[in-house]
Structure 1
Amino acid sequence: MTDAASQDLHALVADMQARLRLAEDREDIWRLLMKMQDAIDGRDIKAYADNFTEDGVWAGVVGRGVGPAGVLETLGKYMHSVVDQSKRTFHATMDVVIDIDGDTATSTSKFQHIRHAEDNTTDVWHLGAYDDRLVRTSQGWKFTQRHAYVIVPYMEPKFQMVGAEDRPKEWTQRRGCKE
């Protein structure tokens, strides 16, 4: 094999390894998003909170928490064990876009919050969105920021984003929020 052919082969292998890592990272983040959905639907707030870094921020309409303990405390005020299955709600995550840059990533997605209606049918309670920032850790991908907010029914963003000062400016502009 010539030196040029050997260099081409090494470059091809390096490119394939980089593309494989990117695909694996996207899959790992996708699975983390589904793990978070399952934790919130199962009311396992500790499992949900454990997916944040020590300085990771969760912010949404019910409040703001920093680090696993803060997220657990904030969500624990509102999320309780399911006692009556007819009152149980579920989330369906969709329209996920994951962008990875080395050991950091961003993710945007929408979710439907579904509940049982009075006539025993299903009802979409609201449509919301997540804006996420993640970092690769020795334990896998974790959230450094997760902002959850309602899109439908419409709520003025400034009223539902506790901790909005932490949002990256491009998210504020993209979501039509006022500075």
Structure 2
Amino acid sequence: MPNEAAKRACEELIVRLTHAQDHNRAQTAAALFVTDGTWIRSGVPHQGHEAIVRSFDRAGQSVVIRHIVSSTLIDVIDDDHATGVTYYLAFANRDDVAADSVRRLHSPASLGEWHDRFERTPQGWRFTQRTGVRIFES
């Protein structure tokens, strides 16, 4: 079942990118894209690995963010291309730290969808484009 293997690989790529984003690992995140891939974050396109890495500087190091993802739908177009939509719920905290160094939980920062395009490369499946679409925002 080649389609099932492609779907699973794309789903894993989504999880890896989410983890890299949540832990501010810009280089790791950029490597999950094709060389000229584009990540559209807050409506701003960042094309290429260097631009994707620079896009991580926007939030700053003091922001802690975590995404909860669900309802991923992957459509395999052909042997080398796929698309996907994933729902996400994001929590963000800039500086509100409790006495025990645990961040205080506030209402979600946003709820939305990631619209992804994937391509199979010699290194495995990679993003060609990711577009974040915020549906709700606090």
Q: Same fold (TM over 0.5)?
A: yes
Paired with 2:56 and 2:108, the residues of 1 have a C-alpha distance of 23
Mind listing any 5+ residue stretches in structure 1 that lack a counterpart?
Answer: 1-18, 155-179
How do residues 59-70 of structure 1 correspond to structure 2 at under 5 angstroms? 59-61=40-42, 63-70=44-51
Unaligned runs of 5+ in 2: 99-103
Residue pairs, 1:44-63, within 5 angstroms: 44-61=25-42, 63=44
Q: Which protein is richer in strand relative to its size?
A: 2
TM-score for both structures, normalised by structure 1: 0.65
- The corresponding residue for 2:114 is 130
Instruction: Quote the offset at 1:107 in angstroms.
Output: 0.4
Displacement of 1:97 in angstroms is 0.5
Letter paired with 1:98:
I
* Residue of structure 2 equivalent to 1:32: 13
Q: TM-score, normalised by structure 2?
A: 0.83
Quote the sequence identity (%). 22
SS of alignment partner, residue 77 of structure 1: helix
Instruction: Choose between structure 1 and 2: higher helix proportion.
Output: 1
Higher relative contact order (CA 8 A, sep 6+): 2
Runs of 4+ in 1 over 3 A off after TM superposition: 79-82, 115-122
Number of residue equivalences: 130
Q: Is residue 96 from structure 1 mapped to residue 72 from structure 2 by the alignment?
A: yes
Tell which structure's C-alpha radius of gyration is larger: 1
Q: Per-residue displacement from partner, 1:63-118 (whole Å, max 9, x unpaired)?
A: 22111112112x13314335xxxx52200111110011221000011110013596
- In structure 1, C-alpha distance between the alignment counterparts of 2:93 and 2:51, rounded to whole Å: 30
SS at match of 1:124: coil
